[in-house]
Amino acid sequence: MASATLLKSSFLPKRSEWHAAARKSSNPQPVAVSFTVRAGAYSDELVKTAKTIASPGRGILAMDESNATCGKRLASIGLENTEANRQAYRTLLVSAPGLGQYISGAILFEETLYQSTTDGKKMVDVLVEQKIAPGIKVDKGLVPLTGSNDESWCQGLDGLASRCAAYYQQGARFAKWRTVVSIPNGPSALAVKEAAWGLARYAAIAQDNGLVPIVEPEILLDGEHGIDRTFEVAQKVWAEVFFYLAENNVMFEGILLKPSMVTPGAECKEKATPEQVAEYTLKLLHRRIPPAVPGIMFLSGGQSEVEATQNLNAMNQSPNPWHVSFSYARALQNTCLKTWGGRPENVKAAQDVLLVRAKANSLAQLGKYSAKGEAAEAKEGMYVKNYSY
């Protein structure tokens, strides 16, 4: 399999060692160094899936919260964390009429991928009927990174190939792996390298099993730092990420990125306007992201619903080499969840609210959004220090 070949490639000598060996040979021969991008038998499908998700006016609904995190959301509206309650809420989301007009992909937790709606239909089938590609969270969460400055690394590579193959058979067509970088804690070179290497290995394995990998090194909002410091760290992180993606022969045309926007730390006294966020973020993308990548699907990272939409809109005021869009969780679901409140009679009202937010971000992807008429609740920040999924 390609994944085995890719694993072996990490133990190959460096180019300098190849050339040194050739010079020492009694009969020197030209040394051919070849670099092969591999995505197995799925190359064409991967490109098609990535382009479909990165289609004009559409983005991703991230609904891949773990059962524990979903329980926190349900608790906020007074509901117990049971499978029935999780099923009811997820059914509300995936069955919102016309959602596929604004949403091209939905990231699911493993339970949801195998779950049926309250009406007995497979969640995956409901999404496909809406022309929404089902995706799947494949990482196993963050754990402490030994030897670092209280930083973390993302686990889940063990058994990933077999899990991806099973998820593909169940109907998933893209995957997500989230790791994080903390500015207040450094970030250390060790943490950045570990994040980049893990993302690259995951991406290669996902592609080898038919899933478009979403590459997500989230730079946390935690901290008092200014926007220039965020920009500095983001440049280092993305340089490392793309170096290791190339080292692992990942096909750039068959990936999607889920970066943080370049903003000041959440506790910084100097706030940035949407225009400043757009300027810094686009400058970062132009310096670090190859145009072969089909889509940049930003995470909201604790911004308010309106703030996340305004920032996205500001980035789409002129043409970009990539599809610049959204992959939002709380910034799409927050008001929807509160409107539902666990009451069956509120399902339609909650779905209407979800569609309002989805349409707003669809317009932002096209650069046509206006915040006029937005409810005060949609402007409330959702930042949580050390937030975890």
- The yes-or-no answer on residue 216 being catalytic is yes
Predicted model pTM: 0.86
Q: What is the average pLDDT across 191-215?
A: 98
Residue 96: its pLDDT value, please? 98
Looking at per-residue confidence, does 296 or 31 come out higher?
296
Q: Residue 15: its pLDDT value, please?
A: 40
The answer to whether residue 182 scores a pLDDT higher than 80 is: yes
Strand pairing category for 152-154 and 142-144: antiparallel
pLDDT in tens, 112-122: 999 999 999 99
Query: What is the structure's pLDDT at 1?
Result: 44
Would you state the pLDDT for residue 41? 83
Rounded Cα–Cα distance for residues 93 and 249 (Å): 36
Average pLDDT over residues 237-251: 98
Reported as a single tens digit per residue, the pLDDT across 61-106 is 999 999 999 999 999 999 999 999 999 999 999 999 999 999 999 9
Closest CA to 111 of 74, 65, 171: 65
Higher-confidence position of 275 and 381: 275
- Top-confidence residue, 371 or 251: 251
Give, for 281, the enclosing helix (H) or strand (E). helix 274-288
Distance, CA of 111 to CA of 290 (rounded, Å)? 35
Q: What is the rounded CA–CA span in Å between residue 353 and residue 347?
A: 10
- Tell me which of 181-190, 216-225, 367-376 is least confident: 367-376
For residue 301, the model assigns a pLDDT of: 80
Catalytic residue list contains 258: yes
Cα–Cα dist 137/389, whole Å:
11
Determine the average pLDDT of the residues in 155-162: 97
For 366-377, what is the mean pLDDT? 81
Q: Decide if pLDDT at 4 tops 80.
A: no
Half-sphere exposure (Cβ direction) of 135: Cα atoms closer than 13 Å: 32
Has residue 383 got a pLDDT over 90? no
Residue 222 above 70 pLDDT? yes
Split at pLDDT 50, 70, 90, the class of 186 is confident
For residue 389, pLDDT beyond 90: no
Exactly one of 151, 194, 216, 247 is catalytic; which is it? 216
Q: What is the pLDDT of residue 372?
A: 80
**Residues 159-188, mean pLDDT to the nearest whole number:** 96
Average of per-residue pLDDT across 32-49: 74
Q: Please say whether the beta carbons of 308 and 369 come within 8 A.
A: no
pLDDT of residue 375: 64
Q: Which of 65, 137, 176, 258 is catalytic?
A: 258
Helices (H) and strands (E) in the chain, counts: 14, 10
Integer angstrom CA distances of residue 113 from 48, 90, 106, 169, 251: 21, 11, 10, 11, 26
pLDDT at 341 over 60: yes
According to the model, what pLDDT value does residue 30 have? 47
Evaluate if residue 324 carries a pLDDT over 60: yes
pLDDT for 156 beyond 90: yes
The residue-averaged pLDDT of 297-314 equals 92
Per-residue CA distances from 21 to 34, 194, 215, 375 (Å): 17, 30, 36, 68
Whether residue 208 contacts residue 40, with contact meaning beta carbons closer than 8 Å, is answered with yes
The per-residue pLDDT for 24 is 45
- Taking residues 110-135, report their average pLDDT: 98
pLDDT tens per residue across span 267-286: 899 999 999 999 999 999 99
Q: What is the pLDDT of residue 8?
A: 37
Helix (H, G, I), strand (E, B) or coil at 144: strand
The answer to whether the CB of 227 falls within 8 A of the CB of 190 is: no
Give the pLDDT of residue 19. 42
The average confidence (pLDDT) of the chain is: 89
